[in-house]
A and B are shown apart, each in its own frame.
Chain A
């Protein structure tokens, strides 16, 4: 039974590939690891609705995606940071004129262990923690113990975004432990009562062993919690109005102005269906695309 199904599937697959060779559009997507789950979901749902299109999604990091776009080995580069001037230059030298599309938003959260008594941080203090200017929790009203910093690898978009946006491009402290991925950071901080880390809010949502710290843009201003009261879901308002200081756009970069199949796909992503998936995968949809939720806290 299952064997027959498999056989039928295989035959139809080979038929499909042979028949559709002429007209099928193949889109390759490469880039940000932050976006890879969302990108795969987009591709999956879109392919179901448009059987003629085949979309291949791989991660590797924002830099890798943009490098592939420049080399011409991918159609769409996912990036969790804006393209750099130097990258635009080398793209132009290669005859590629990157076209930017904002596809979603992401907020970064700073997390500590549940047992940590520190209640909130300012942007400046956050920067101080990760540059190594602040080294003891005592200076922040916590226990008299060394701060243990957890960071991302230098190739990740999150590393660069945090460094440029929060740390004003100063270097990370040399003793920052670099871990592979935000999930690893969540795990490490959950196990380390003196640890501090950062990463996409979605990764820390709903974890009772971690505490997401509210951040204030500067001293004297109220600290903003990126979560809704009670910790149920991300508070979009504070990210749209930029009152929560650590948020960013997630971009799609195309080799040229979109047309044909790629334009359809990009329009679909920025439309209600694509943005619904953004929300489902834990990121923040573009403002104004989705209707506001009927019941608050739903």
Chain B
């Protein structure tokens, strides 16, 4: 693969001026300026690349510094749950809720983490089913002309502002889902997951398509030569050999789903209850941050607790993205062999 690229040629071109530079002292000013420009451009690109890492590092330090201060005033146990008096029976009971404005503020992270999971996992499943099929279609089945229509359309879908998707779901899809499933709560995790799917389907489809296209042509041709139909080729040959690419697409999609804010804020109902029911209202970590961080007094207990939520979210998505990176690099290595 590497041999096809005129790598040696370009190297030679790059080397020539340097050699000439040393040979003749009286080089034109123009040439010297070009060399300087080259050097500047190189440093500029390196700095830009380094900046991304620096930003992530700074954000992490900032989150950790503010978030870990929560432990100074709040007992770690209270991030799981707290003993409170039941409003109705007036008996003490163990509650796992997030209710920072209260006589006894409650900071359980469990309902928020569960809420995020109840959005991210179903959303990844829905959009995995659609995105995988869409990616395969684009890479293997669609004619070039069809692809040139479908692909920009899908990219357009990725560009819709999430607040518009949220609004659309809120006013129309939510009622439709309620009529279909007869749920008590019109705004629930299922509706939220549907909305988030819209955002991550393009991500997953594009990544799956890339993974499929990276498979060398000989493999496809080999399968056809053995008499396999197109479906058999896709199912038995192409999907298994791009498995790690597909896995990476799903993991990255899930990371995106965990971070999605506007849609879930609008359509999940935001009730911080610890539940496993997909048709109950949930409150995600992102929605909690968006709704409360703007209004909280700086330096207060709730402020630090919110930063801790942010830290948890950051660590989750960071590890998901890292997992995807590892899977992708493993795939690249295997395909090259």
Contact with A along B244-270 (1 / 0, CB 8 A): 000000000000000000000110011
12 contacts between A and B (CB under 8 A): A145-B184, A153-B291, A154-B292, A160-B101, A169-B103, A178-B269, A178-B270, A178-B283, A179-B269, A187-B170, A191-B174, A192-B186
- Residue A249 is within 8 A (CB to CB) of chain B in the complex: no
- On whether the beta carbons of B271 and A133 are closer than 8 Å, the reply is no
Contact with A along B76-98 (1 / 0, CB 8 A): 00000000100110000001010
- Residue A67 is within 8 A (CB to CB) of chain B in the complex: yes
Chain A residue at smallest Cβ distance from B274: A174
- On whether the beta carbons of A172 and B292 are closer than 8 Å, the reply is no
A146 to B182, CA, bound (A): 13
- Please provide the chain B residues from 59 to 91 with a CB less than 8 Å away from any CB of chain A in the complex: 84, 87-88
- On whether the beta carbons of B270 and A177 are closer than 8 Å, the reply is yes
- On whether the beta carbons of A176 and B271 are closer than 8 Å, the reply is yes
- On whether the beta carbons of A175 and B273 are closer than 8 Å, the reply is yes
- Residue A253 is within 8 A (CB to CB) of chain B in the complex: no
- Please provide the chain B residues from 167 to 217 with a CB less than 8 Å away from any CB of chain A in the complex: 170-171, 174-175, 184-187
**Within the complex, which residue of A133, A163, A180 is in contact with B265, where a contact is CB–CB below 8 Å?**
A180
What chain A residues lie within 8 Å of B291 (beta carbons)? 153, 155, 178, 180
- Residue B50 is within 8 A (CB to CB) of chain A in the complex: no
- On whether the beta carbons of A60 and B295 are closer than 8 Å, the reply is yes
- Please provide the chain A residues from 61 to 85 with a CB less than 8 Å away from any CB of chain B in the complex: 61, 63-64, 67
Give the secondary structure class of B's interface: loop
What chain B residues lie within 8 Å of A146 (beta carbons)? 184
- On whether the beta carbons of B273 and A194 are closer than 8 Å, the reply is no
- On whether the beta carbons of B101 and A159 are closer than 8 Å, the reply is yes
- Residue A132 is within 8 A (CB to CB) of chain B in the complex: yes
| Known contacts A160-B101, A178-B291, then 5 further A-B pairs from the complex at CB < 8 Å, ordered by chain A residue | A67-B298, A155-B296, A163-B101, A173-B87, A180-B291
- Residue A131 is within 8 A (CB to CB) of chain B in the complex: yes
What chain A residues lie within 8 Å of B185 (beta carbons)? 148, 177
What chain A residues lie within 8 Å of B283 (beta carbons)? 178
Chain B residue at smallest Cβ distance from A156: B295
- Residue A242 is within 8 A (CB to CB) of chain B in the complex: no
- Please provide the chain B residues from 276 to 296 with a CB less than 8 Å away from any CB of chain A in the complex: 280-281, 283, 291-292, 294-296
- On whether the beta carbons of A174 and B271 are closer than 8 Å, the reply is yes
Chain B residue at smallest Cβ distance from A87: B297
- Residue B138 is within 8 A (CB to CB) of chain A in the complex: no
Residue positions of A touching B, CB distance < 8 A: 60-61, 63-64, 67, 131-133, 145-146, 148, 153-155, 159-160, 163, 169-180, 187-188, 191-192, 194
- Residue B272 is within 8 A (CB to CB) of chain A in the complex: yes
Residue in B84, B174, B271, B273 whose Cβ sees the most chain A Cβ within 10 Å: B271
**Within the complex, which residue of B100, B186, B271, B294 is in contact with A188, where a contact is CB–CB below 8 Å?**
B186
Known: A177-B187, A180-B291, A192-B186. A133 touches B88 (CB 8 A): yes
A153 to B187, CA, bound (A): 16
- On whether the beta carbons of A132 and B270 are closer than 8 Å, the reply is no
Residue positions of B touching A, CB distance < 8 A: 84, 87-88, 95, 97, 99-103, 111, 170-171, 174-175, 184-187, 265-266, 269-273, 280-281, 283, 291-292, 294-298
A94 to B83, CA, bound (A): 36
A153 to B272, CA, bound (A): 12
Chain B residue at smallest Cβ distance from A147: B184
A148 to B296, CA, bound (A): 27
What chain B residues lie within 8 Å of A145 (beta carbons)? 184
A160 to B103, CA, bound (A): 11
- On whether the beta carbons of B273 and A154 are closer than 8 Å, the reply is no
Known: A176-B271, A188-B187. A133 touches B99 (CB 8 A): no
- On whether the beta carbons of A63 and B295 are closer than 8 Å, the reply is yes
Known: A153-B291, A159-B101. A175 touches B184 (CB 8 A): no
Kindly provide the distance from the CB of B167 to the nearest chain A CB, expressed in whole angstroms: 11
Kindly provide the distance from the CB of A34 to the nearest chain B CB, expressed in whole angstroms: 14
A83 to B239, CA, bound (A): 63
A118 to B271, CA, bound (A): 25
A148 to B174, CA, bound (A): 15
Chain A residue at smallest Cβ distance from B96: A174
What chain A residues lie within 8 Å of B95 (beta carbons)? 174
Kindly provide the distance from the CB of B106 to the nearest chain A CB, expressed in whole angstroms: 8
- On whether the beta carbons of B103 and A64 are closer than 8 Å, the reply is no
- On whether the beta carbons of A177 and B296 are closer than 8 Å, the reply is no
What chain B residues lie within 8 Å of A159 (beta carbons)? 101
Kindly provide the distance from the CB of B298 to the nearest chain A CB, expressed in whole angstroms: 8
Chain B residue at smallest Cβ distance from A130: B87
- On whether the beta carbons of B99 and A171 are closer than 8 Å, the reply is yes
A175 to B146, CA, bound (A): 48
- On whether the beta carbons of B273 and A148 are closer than 8 Å, the reply is no
A58 to B143, CA, bound (A): 54
What chain B residues lie within 8 Å of A172 (beta carbons)? 99
**Within the complex, which residue of B99, B111, B171, B294 is in contact with A60, where a contact is CB–CB below 8 Å?**
B294
- On whether the beta carbons of A177 and B269 are closer than 8 Å, the reply is yes
**Within the complex, which residue of A131, A175, A187, A192 is in contact with B87, where a contact is CB–CB below 8 Å?**
A131
A160 to B270, CA, bound (A): 17
A-B pairs, top 10 by smallest CB distance, nearest first, are: A155-B295, A177-B269, A154-B101, A174-B97, A178-B270, A133-B88, A131-B87, A61-B295, A177-B271, A177-B281
- On whether the beta carbons of A64 and B270 are closer than 8 Å, the reply is no
A15 to B154, CA, bound (A): 50
